[in-house]
Amino acid sequence: MKSGEKSQAMFKRAQAAIPGGVNSNFRYWGDEETLVLKKGKGAYIWDQDDKKYIDYRLGFGPVILGHANEAVNERVKEGLEIGNAFAMTHEFEISAAEKIKKRELGRYCLYHHRTVNGKLCFNYAQKRIPGDGSKPV
């Protein structure tokens, strides 16, 4: 499938700025076939020539709710308005930790077992999990 004129022109521009014109080998489909996207909404993406495609990849997982999901966008806007990269504890961090603790404490601890936070979580889990406390979750 040959990409359109605008996509090809944008890909040539990418090749001048990025080695191979792409940042991942999964994105390269050939000099005349590689798509350069313009936008996404829901499960769909559009290339530079406004051709519409179903996006089966969805960012390989993180876009599971679809592109430009209104509910996600609203929450992101809320977060941006209050700041988003604190080097200190924040209320949202505590709220997220409470939800994780309630639902997935064991998996969270195992996933983060090599970090300082993971060690704190592991120690907390040993103290709080019913039983003799000698075995981690």
Q: pLDDT tens across 1-16, in order?
A: 788 999 999 999 999 9
- Dump pLDDT digits (tens) for 11-34: 999 999 999 999 888 888 888 899
DSSP 90: -
CATH (one of 3.90.1150.10, 1.25.40.10, 3.30.70.270, 1.20.1050.140) for 1-84: 3.90.1150.10
Region label for 129, one of left (φ > 0), alpha (ψ between -120 and 50) or beta (otherwise): beta
> Which sequence spans correspond to the domains of the chain?
1-84, 86-137
Average pLDDT value over all residues in the chain: 79
Q: What is the pLDDT of residues 73-117, one digit of tens each?
A: 998 898 889 887 777 888 888 888 888 777 665 554 555 445 555
Say whether pTM exceeds 0.75.
no
